[in-house]
Amino acid sequence: MLAFGQVFEVEGDDWNPLDSIYFESPSPYVTIPEYDGNLWQIATPQKTFFESSYSPDNAILTDSIEFYPVNNYSHFDLNFSQTDFDVLGYNFFITFRHKIDTDTLRDGGYITASIDGGESWINILDFNACGFAGYPADFVEFGTLYGSSDTLFNGERGFSGHSDWRNCHFGWYFLPVNSMHFPQFCFEDITLRFNFISDTLAESQEGWMIDNIRIRSHNFGSSTGEEFEPTIVLFPNPTFDILSITLDEVKLMEGYDILDQQGKQVQSGELKRQFNAEIFVGDLPSGVYTLRLKLSNQRDFFRKFIKE
């Protein structure tokens, strides 16, 4: 469970946290496909170099006990949509902590992205394509990603070698001019795929471990107030019956809708509350839902939650 006030690091006051994945409870954004040889698992590390997670107790890693085998391909996905994050497509950043132990420039990990539902994938180093109304939504990174010469055995550029916990920080940057209410976005959905590969040569190495994935937007500041981006905490998440909503500043909540995964409205209501509110969701079937939160004099905000 995420706890209120739980802070593991400070990465700059001007980076708004939108959500976090600590791997201590199920996350609606994370998918680990099941197939033979997929090493990724969410677990408590029990290796020599990967002896502990960044935030206790769990991380996502290429097996919690064993060295990685030869000829492996493994992946997991992070799926984000505009119904999760209204800033998606023009001001959207990811940070994570990771540790790696592989055969340098042979085995390792790389991140690809798809904005067409998985039809095509591109290494995020090359993901610099979209623009909006003449303004580029450039991919940016902060010297924490692999570079163009960090080539793995299959020709992909990626992380490899041996390093202790490092931060990785990248995203898409678009300077808002007037308003957050753009008529369209560069992309409405994005999947980030974390790929791990190993070649035919056996090593006794531990692979790749990731923790504390944070989803952020940049706070550009505003005199108009239009770029208000609250931190909205849904708790507990997953929930069995009560979903508590807390804002990081006092705003009048007016109402909410709950949407299922097909986007169909399955519950709605008035709130007329400031700062925090509770919703009974005990009648919903188990699954992943999106809460659309309506705030007075603001656009709607969308957040995902899991009903157990």
Q: Does 103 bind Ca ion (CB under 5 A)?
A: yes
Rounded to an integer, what distance in angstroms lies between the CA atom of residue 160 and that of residue 151? 9
Q: Would you count residue 206 as binding Ca ion (CB under 5 A)? A: no
Phi/psi of residue 124, nearest 5 degrees = -60, -20
Select from 12, 201, 268, 270 the one that contacts Ca ion (CB under 5 A): 201
Smallest distance, Å, CB 83 to Ca ion? 26
| Position 199 contacts Ca ion (CB under 5 A) | yes
What's the CA gap between 81 and 145, in Å, rounded? Answer: 23
Stretch that binds Ca ion, among 77-85, 126-134, 211-219, 260-268 (CB under 5 A): 211-219
Pick one of 16, 40, 47, 55: the residue that binds Ca ion (CB under 5 A). Answer: 55
Cβ neighbours of residue 95 under 8 Å, at least 6 residues apart? 11, 167, 168, 169, 212, 213, 214, 216
Among residues 5 and 183, whose Cβ is nearest to Ca ion?
Answer: 5
Applying CB under 5 A, among 19, 206, 211, 229 the residue interacting with Ca ion is 211
Q: Please state, as a whole number, how many other Cβ atoms lie within 10 Å of the Cβ of residue 74.
A: 24
* Nearer of residues 101 and 107 to Ca ion, judged by Cβ: 107
The CB-nearest residue to Ca ion is: 55
| CA dist 247 → 3, 219, 273 (Å) | 15, 16, 11
Binding residue (CB under 5 A) for Ca ion from 63, 107, 189, 227: 107
Rounded distance between C-alpha atoms, residue 85 and residue 229, angstroms: 10
Q: In what order do the strands lie in the sheet with 30-31?
A: 30-31, 73-81, 189-197, 108-114, 122-123
Interface region with Ca ion, contact rule CB under 5 A, candidates 4-12, 96-104, 135-143, 265-273? 96-104
Where does this chain bind Ca ion (CB under 5 A)?
Answer: 22-23, 53, 55, 58, 103, 107, 198-199, 201, 203, 211
